Amino acid sequence: MHRDTDMCRAQFHDTPSHVFQNYHSQIRLSVKIKFLVGLAHKITEAIGTTNMPQVREQLGALAANAGMVEAMLSGMEASGSRRGEYYLPNRHLMYAAQVVTQDLYPRLINLIRDLAGGSLIMLPSSFRDWANPELAPILHRTQRSPNFNSEDKVKLLKAAWDAIGSEFGSRHTQYEMFYAGARFVTTGHSYRTFDWAAARGMVDHLLSTYDLEEVTKRAAE
């Protein structure tokens, strides 16, 4: 591969390498999204909004997204094929999942932000505040929750901020949007691997079932 760009490309796309490495990425993403959906539910428990109908609607949408990503992963496996002694996940479904989740991830993060509201802002600046004799009583009063003590509530919301809003969390959003390449790259893979012949064949079959002469004849009858 040294100084050979064609061979460098071929190692990924003329072999199953690119499929396998990105299939692994979809496993990772499926687990990650399930974690974030669980985090969203616990945030609503901490701030006491879980049973509000509009909040349950948002949580249901998050759960559906988690289910969709997991279903696409299962689809890659179920509709895969053998390549020699190895089993290869469905290439197009893998690329399709990448295209879908590039847009899905930032929407999911924003939905969790919406569920959290101002709770992620009204937090102590440091764990050291709990040891401050002047600040600790204030924290215990202001960080109350119907389901968590003040320390557990802050612990959860700090973890949530790390996941969706901190420099670390923001990098994750950027990563999920671009780790597989810019959008034109992932959609290009999807275009290249889709069975266009089968899809267009369905249209051609429909159009072949009637013609102008036949329609005119039937209309005259």
> DSSP per residue over 153-175, as a string?
HHHHHHHHHHHHTSHHHHHHHHH
Give CA–CA dist 58/114, Å, rounded. 9
201 belongs to a structural domain: no
Quote the longest CA-to-CA distance of the chain: 95
Residue 208 placed within a domain? no
Q: Please give the span between the terminal C-alpha atoms of the chain, in angstroms, as a whole number.
A: 70
Structure tokens at 162: 């790390």
Is the Cα torsion angle 115, 117, 121, 127 positive or negative in sign?
A: negative
What is the predicted pLDDT for the residue at 220?
83
Q: Is residue 209 included in any domain, yes or no?
A: no
Mean pLDDT, all residues of the chain: 93
Residue count of the chain, please give it. Answer: 221
Flag whether 210 is in a domain: no
Residue pair 157/119 in contact (Cβ under 8 Å)? The answer is yes
Residue 213 falls inside a structural domain: no
Residue 65 lies in a domain: yes
pLDDT reported for residue 202: 97
Q: Are the beta carbons of 43 and 115 closer than 8 angstroms?
A: yes
HEC profile of 57-82:
HHHHHHHHHHHHHHHHHHHHHHCCEE
Contact present, 157 and 142 (Cβ < 8 Å)? no
Domain of residue 162, CATH code: 1.20.140.10
159 and 39 in contact (C-beta within 8 Å)?
Answer: yes
Answer yes or no: are the C-beta atoms of 194 and 93 closer than 8 Å: no
Along the 221 residues of the chain, how does pLDDT read in single tens digits?
A: 889 999 988 888 888 899 999 999 999 999 999 999 999 999 999 999 999 999 999 999 999 999 999 999 999 999 999 988 999 999 999 999 999 999 999 999 999 999 999 999 989 988 899 999 999 999 999 898 888 999 999 999 999 999 999 999 999 999 999 999 999 999 999 999 999 999 999 999 999 998 888 888 888 87
Q: Is residue 13 one of the residues assigned to a domain?
A: yes
Query: Does residue 112 lie in a domain region?
Result: yes
Q: Dig out the tokens for 44 from the structure.
A: 């609503």
Q: Could you give the number of structural domains in the chain?
A: 1
Residue 117 structural domain: 5-196
